[in-house]
Structure formats: structure tokens, C-alpha cells
A and B are shown apart, each in its own frame.
Chain A
Amino acid sequence: MGFLRPSAGRATIAGLDCWSQAPAVKRLVGYLPSEFAFDPGLTGAQILTYLGHLRGGVDRSYVQQLCERLDFDPGKRFREYSRGNRQKLGLIQAFMHRPRLLILDEPSSGLDPLNQQEFYRMLREVQSEGHTVFLSSHILPEVEQTCSRVGIIRDGRLVEVNEVSRLKHMRQQTVVISFPGPASPEWFQGLPGVAAVRLNRDGRELHLDVQGELQAVIKAAAAHDALSLSTQEPSLEEIFLRFYQVDQPVAAGR
């Protein structure tokens, strides 16, 4: 956004340099900062009008439509708005010029569940129109629901960028196998892809963390007369937490 001067390298959006061509970049972008602050004496309507003028004019009927969708009252002063209403105002100003790229920092924080759902619908609409949404969030189910690609940052470095579906597929899954009698973890240790084996309390069920194909695990389970076998796909939250485990080395970003 041309806020920070790069210490090295350069960033581009749509082929435009984010520092030297900042105004042109900002014309394409709708931006919501993590803390939306503004002159406390202005009303929501005045803020939207002012920002609309600074953008060279926006469609007022579309602004009103956005206010309706998020149930936002633009007649109050900024200082009177609750956190949720300030967030709605921030979202409306980010969407109001129909940008090609939306950069949203923690966009749904402070929104009530109904408005969150409406916001997700708005995201899906702009995505279906071919626009890009770039959001940062700590609410991982939200990311899982709204994003197609995800980047994970650890210690200030991008450690993973991938499709959400591929990330889940590539990463470990948990396999639960039940046996008619006492089971032993040794049956599965050393098999290809098996990272860890845990025995549950009654001694008849094993929990395996497996990466990749399950053929060897299924064969070994059958050899020991397994009663049932189920797999659990990891949530994005579990994948994320694995990246943040202290002993997990930081992989190079892709």
C-alpha cells in the first residue's frame, strides 16, 4: 500500500510497483486496516462521502446498498459507533469502489454472526466476479470457508503457501483403527508414512498420524483382524498449529 519502504526487493500489484506507483496501485485496491480510525466528529455518511471524493467519486446507490446489507446506520458520529459498527464502516469503504483487489486485515472481527454471514456472501460475490480478496485472519475456520489459497507466516517468514485443499491433503491425517483384542503400536511403527502411533486407554484402539498413502496401514490392519478403520482430515487450525510447534523447523516458503 506504499506505507512501508522496502528494505530490499520490490512488491507489485497488477504489474505496478507498490512504492513508486502507489496511487495507481491504490486505485485498484480496497483496504481495511486492523484498527479503523477516523476523525471522531464526522458521521459515517460524511466519512464515506469524503473517502469517495478522495477516490475520485463512487456510486452512491451502491454505497447505500452496502449500508443496507450490513445494517449500518451512517447517520451517527464516528465516536458513537461500537467496534462492530466501525468495522462495518471500514468494510463498506473498502468495497464501495468495486476494487479489483481487496486487502482486508481481520475483516470479520467485531461483526455479529448475522453480519458475518452477510460479509461472507459479499466475499463470494466479488470472488465470483473475478476479483481477488487478500485477507489476514486468526479465525481459521473463516479462512477455510472463504479462501482458496492460504499462506502461513511464522516468525515473520512465509513458511507455506498453497491451496487449502492441497494443504490438507499433503499434511498428516489421523487414522483410528479398532481391534477385537489388545493391540500393539509396534504393528504399525516403521511403516511408510506413519509418523506417530498412540494406543488408547482400553488397549484395543490405535491412533496413527499418517502422511501420504494409506495402503501399507490398511494391509497391516487387515493382517491383525481390524474391526474398523476411520480417517480424520486435519482442520486448517491443526495444520496451522503444526507449523507453530516449537520443534517444527521453519521450511522455506514456496
Chain B
Amino acid sequence: MLRTIWLKTLREYWIAVLCWGLGLGLLIYAMYATAQDALSAGVTQIYQSFSFYGDQVALNTIPGYVTFRVFGTTLPAFLAIWAILAGARLVRGDEERGTLDVLLSQPLARIRLLLEKLLALMLAILVMMLIISLFILLGQLSAKQAADYPRALLTALNVGLFELIFASIALLISQFVRWRGAAAGWTAAVLVIMFVFDSVGRVQHDFDWLRRLSIFYYYNANKPLIPSVATNWGALTLLVLLAAVLIVASALLFARRDLGGVAFQLALNGQRQPATVERARALARAAGDPFLRSLGLRTLRAQFTALFWWTVITLFFVEFLTALIPSLLDVFRKAVAGNAVMSQLFSGYNVATNQGFLGATVFAFVPVALTIFALTLASSWSRDLDNNRLEIILSMPQSRLRLLAEHTSAVILASLIPPLLMWLSLLVTANIINLRIDVSDTAAACFSMLPLEWLTAALVYLLATRLPSGLTTGLISVFLALSFLMEFLQPMLKLPEWLINLSIFHLYGSPITEGWRWGPTLTILGLTLVVGLAAFLHFRQSSLVARA
């Protein structure tokens, strides 16, 4: 596997290929397995109100239902996260690590290096799509449909082409920016804009032309799973041409630009002052920065971008669903009335009430998202310990306890902001659209998430004293995933009380409908306190090299 660049690159992808292939494959299989029940329960009535989300073609058939739920937006957009990251780091990753210098010191043309790496990426996508096509086939069999592998394969290949295009956009953008993170961020923005164009065009017929600017539109022009939809060769050709143009442009730019530099660098730096003046200016600028005064303030500043985006996306999600309540409540009321399967789909929430709807749509997912947010915030501590960035900080005349306390305070403060803004914005939106929700119950639902966030952070601090960052994050992610799955599937699994109580999301419960649940909330807070204290004591006593 180390004989050529493309084999070496392919080797780096195999775990991602397996994980994404199997994970998405299982999702497809589950969708097929539950499709008939959902269709019989009349779920299509609800989805008719979701035209912003995808084309509704043959929605009352199993292929139409699966295409709408999975292949329209969810799966391509979700997998695009991987494709964008892979495209952004294809050459920029090696440049950042400094390994591209070594590779290019070999007798090898730049264009060939890029094309070999791209070949590996295309093969990785192809294998992933083959795995997915097999799961589509299994899904068809589980739903007692006629097995149609050619349609399954074409569906997967259509997704593969979509992913290749987004990987290529990231690759092209990475020629213009110095860091892979920036390339991935800009490409993600392109993905979101494309989705918005397609959505708005579909919902507002006056803006139908917007759809033609979106890659989603051309991708969705072909729906190979649905027999009644004919192949749109024009859309397919356009996507293939787009991929080719992106790749050729990236290769040409990569062949011409400086290593570590960017294409079309503009000489806009202006007249540089003498070195002494520049030095004095740089030092004076830094001296005026209030966020450099302590570790706590510095941590808060470093987390600001993440905090901003997590808050904006959470608020967007919450506001969007809250604004839908007046138009959707009647549909839900009719769909759920006397229908046990539908009730089960919403985890027992009474979705015919304002707060029940919020519980099923917002507060079943936002607590999970915000605990993951807290995990990413606190993980900066263990990451910094891992890569020795804390060594110099720990050589400053400040006690270890104080440094850890400052980091913890920054994380606590940052974790407070999304629930607080969520609560305020819920109240404001409800007031604007004249929606009745209970102020106290909404506060309970928002602020009961805090103990979950803090427990997650405390676990990071405790494990980080002994374990490397990757293992710490992995273990806590598994705990959160199990907690969520146990709670989400509880209506079907019916786990015993002692077991389900190990899920922190079960302990969170449904404060939006039940109000404050002081018992479980105080239990999690108490646990957080114990874990936090253990982390502080352990960190004070331990050698820095003791982490395995």
C-alpha cells in the first residue's frame, strides 16, 4: 500500500470509508425497514408541509419515501462534511504539516501528485458508494420490494458524484487560502447557500430560477430509485462537466502557485515600515488586547468563533421550528389522533400542543447538540496538554489549580450563552407570532441542559489527567451516543429503570412539558461536582507525563 502516492492516500481513507459506508448504510436500511409502517400511519400528510426540505415525488411509495427522507438532502449533505474536509486537506493538509516539501522533492510532477491523490479520493468515494448500494439492496429486501441492484447502484453513484463535486470545490478553494480549515469553512458555506437556493426556489415559485444555481437541483434531477422518474442526461452531464472543470482548474493553479502560498497573491501589503517600528507596533497592538490578560480570557477568546456558530445554528434551528408551529400543529393533530405508531415516532410527546411539539422537535435534539458543544469546548484543554501547548503556560508563576479553574470558568461561561439566548429568543418569537408557551417551563427546558453540559466538561477534565485527548473525546462521545440512543429508542427497547437512568438525556427528561425536574437536575449537578473535584485533585497531584 506504500508503493505509490495514490495507494498511500487510499490507505489513509479506509477507516473513514468503512465507518461512513456502514453508518450511512445502516441508516438507509433502517429507513427501508420502517418505511411501510410510517407510510401506513399517514406520515406523508406531515411531509407535505416540508416542501422546503426536498422534492416530493411518489412520496406514498417506499422508493419515493426513502428518496425524500434520505437521498434528497440528508445523506448527500451529511456525507459532504467528510468530502469537504477530505478535499480541503488533499494538498493543503500536507502543506500545513510540511510533508508536501518532502514529496515534491522527489522526481514527480505536481499535477501528477495532485491527480494521484484525487484518484485515491475518487476510489474511496466509489467504495463507500458500493457499500451504500449493497445496503439499499438489503433495504429493498427488508421492505419486501423487488431487488433492483442497478437502480441501487445508480442512486449511490449519483450521491458519489455530488460528493466528488464538493470535494473538488474544497480543493479549488484550498488553492486560494493558506489553511485547510478556511477552505473547508468556505466550502461548507457554499453547501449551505446551495441548499438555501434550492429550498427557497422550491417553496417560492417566484424565485424558481434560484434553484438552477444550486448543485442540489441538478443532483435531485435524477432519482434512480424511483422508476417513474426518467434519467435526466442533461443534469448528469452538467455535474460531470462541473467536476472536470473544478479538477482541471485546481490542478493548473496548484502547478503554478508557490508551495505554502496562494494563487493570485495580491501585493497589497503596502509600504513596510523599518523593522524597529514594525516591532514596536506589533507589541503595542498586543498590549492593548484585553483577551491576553489571563488564561480564562484567552480561552474565551479562542472559543468565540465556535461559540458564535453553535449559537447561531442552534437559534436558527429553534426559531425555524417555533415559527412552523402555527402552520403545522393542525397537521400533527390530525396525524397523531388515535395513531399509536405516530405517537411512538415522537417519543411519547403530545405533539398536538405547542410545548409538546417543541419537546419532540427541539428539546429532543438540542440537549445532545449542546453537550457535544461542551465536549468540544473542554477538549481544548486535553488537546493542549497533548501537544505540549500547556507546558510553557504551566511554567508561569500560577498554581495549576488556578489555571484549570480559569479554563473551567471560561467553559462554564461559554456553555451558558446558547441556552440563555435560546430561552430569550423563544420567548420573543412566541410573543411575535402570538404563540402561547409557559415561561417557566421554557426556562426549565433551556437551563436544565446546563448540568448535562457541565457534567460532560467535568468528565473531559478528569479523563484528561490520565488519558490522551483522542481517547478522552472518544470515550465521552461513546457515553453520549449511548445515552442518546437509549433515551431515543426507549419506547421500543423498554429498558429497565436502573439502566435507562444511566442515560443523562433520560435524566434530562421533558422539562418543556413537565417543568423543572429538580431531583434528576440536582443529581447530575452533584455528580458534576464530584467529577469536577476529582479532576482538580488529580490534576494537582499528577505528573504531566503520566498520561498514557
Contacts and interface: CB of A to CB of B under 8 A. Distances in A.
Interface of A: 1-5, 22-24, 26-27, 29, 31, 33, 35-39, 41, 43-46, 48-51, 53-56, 60, 63-64, 67-68, 71-75, 79, 90, 93
B397 A49 contact: no
Given A4-B545, A23-B398, A38-B389, A49 B286 contact: yes
B124 to A, nearest CB: 28
Nearest to B260: A80
B282 A53 contact: no
B80 to A, nearest CB: 26
Contacts of A75: 278-279, 281-282
Nearest to B179: A79
B298 interface: yes
Interface in B371-408: 387-389, 391-400
A100 to B, nearest CB: 12
A27 B397 contact: yes
B392 A38 contact: yes
Contacts of B542: 5
Contacts of B278: 73, 75
Contacts, number: 107
B271 interface: no
B3 interface: no
B293 A4 contact: no
Given A43-B286, A75-B281, A90-B392, 19 more contacts: A2-B400, A3-B544, A3-B545, A4-B543, A23-B399, A31-B392, A33-B392, A35-B388, A37-B387, A39-B389, A49-B286, A49-B292, A54-B398, A64-B280, A67-B283, A68-B276, A72-B279, A73-B279, A73-B282
**Looking at chain B's contact residues, is the secondary structure mostly helix, strand, loop, or mixed?**
helix
A74 B283 contact: yes
B283 A54 contact: no
13 contacts: A2-B394, A5-B542, A23-B397, A26-B398, A31-B395, A33-B391, A46-B289, A48-B286, A49-B283, A50-B298, A53-B293, A54-B393, A60-B283
Nearest to A37: B388
A50 B290 CA distance: 10
B273 to A, nearest CB: 10
Interface in B274-311: 275-276, 278-283, 285-287, 289, 292-295, 298, 302
B543 A45 contact: no
A55 B397 contact: yes
A64 B286 CA distance: 12
A225 B499 CA distance: 98
B227 to A, nearest CB: 53
A132 to B, nearest CB: 16
Contact of B294 (A37, A54, A90): A54
Given A22-B399, A39-B389, A75-B278, A54 B295 contact: yes
A90 B282 CA distance: 17
B399 A53 contact: no
Given A39-B389, A53-B293, A26 B541 contact: no
B406 to A, nearest CB: 10
B279 A64 contact: yes
Contacts of B387: 37
